[in-house]
Amino acid sequence: MRAAAQCLRGVAHRTPRITSRTLDERAGVRAVLKAELLQRTGSFKFRGAYNKIASIPPEQRARGVLTFSSGNHAQAVALAASLLEAPATIVMPADAPELKLAATRGYGAGVVTYDRYSQDREQIGREIAEERGLALVPPFDDPLVIAGQGTAALELVEDSGGLDMLLAPVSGGGLIAGCATAVKALCPDARVIGVEPEAGDDYQRSLEAGRRIAIDVPHTIADALQVTTPGELTFAINRELLEGIITVSDAELVEAMRFAFERLKLVLEPGGAAGLAALLAGKLESRGTAYIGVILSGGNVDWGRFCQLLGTGTPASAE
């Protein structure tokens, strides 16, 4: 992970840590937020994508890279590939947020769409990659991707002088696997807890069952957290390092997005708000003195979609 941090130095942003007295009072905690929504391409995904693509030998890079992604990893691969001069092909769900599709194309990548609810993106991706001789950049189930994502927590621990707990969203499990590895290495007593949407609790069920369980594509507003089963490698790491998983409802995600907008002045996408939602909804046992790190993982959300989710009738402050 130190090697990943070295690889990302001067390329990825060292995103700011944010504290808020209002948040601490509201949630009854002492929290420090890692603003990965301010990372390049609007989410932590740039860390893993760049670290992975940088490791591909130049002659292979020149032939090109391919990935499949619900959106944030797509943008990350598109930008990282462009910085490293590798042509990129991205397999994305046809119903991905317009902003994510447009941004991915804007970074110069070729986009192939598929139907999230009926087609298997991995199969499509692997077929195209083989056909065209492209290197695969997996969205989460890869040691170099996981190491890249973990640098977010590495920075947060370094900048905060230690943590008692870390909360991070869970989809395929790459972010939290990397973060847990970093946190446990630097603060062995710290507890690491993942946060999933209620409707997409495949990781919670899998940890409880002790094996990877697959669910149907979850219907949740958190488009970034719609993966249906834990990664193989991420699961092996997370079952060792995580204390557990908390789930949050779509309504709790929206409340967290509203709080972030009005009090933190930050734009969070639904999935990026999962950790904050767990705090605000009181899902942790109260522990006033613990120092809790929270990864705000992404902010890629259309303005139109944001309005739809938060509603426009009543100013929140008047509620």
In three-state secondary structure terms, 39 is coil
Which residue shows structure tokens 């613990």? 290
Q: Does residue 33 bind a copy of itself (CB under 8 A)?
A: no
Pick the stretch among 117-125, 210-218, 247-255, 295-303 that binds a copy of itself (CB under 8 A): 295-303
Q: Do the beta carbons of residue 110 and residue 104 sit within 8 Å?
A: no
- Closer residue to a copy of itself, CB minimum distance, 59 or 319: 319
Residues 42-81 that bind a copy of itself (CB under 8 A): 42
Q: Tell me the backbone φ, ψ of residue 64, rounded to 5 degrees.
A: 125, 165
- Considering the candidates 202, 252, 255, 269, report the single residue annotated as catalytic: 202
What residues contact 311, with CB distance under 8 A and at least 6 apart? none
Residue 267 interacts with a copy of itself (CB under 8 A): yes or no: yes
Active site residue 43: no
Residue 317 CB, shortest distance to a copy of itself, in Å, is 5
Can residue 108 be called a binding residue for a copy of itself (CB under 8 A)? no
| CA torsion angle 230 53 222 217 (round to 10) | -40
Residue 237 CB, nearest approach to a copy of itself (Å): 29
DSSP state, 218? P
- Cβ neighbours, 10 Å, residue 209: 9
Residue given tokens 């959106």 in the structure block: 71
Please, which of residues 87-106 interact with a copy of itself by CB under 8 A? 98-99, 102, 106
Q: Smallest gap, in angstroms, from Cβ of residue 227 to a copy of itself?
A: 23
> What dihedral do alpha carbons 300, 303, 308, 311 form, nearest 10°?
110
Applying CB under 8 A, the residues found at the interface with a copy of itself are 13, 15-16, 18-19, 21-22, 35, 37-38, 40, 42, 98-99, 102, 106, 258, 261-262, 264-268, 299, 302-307, 310, 312-318
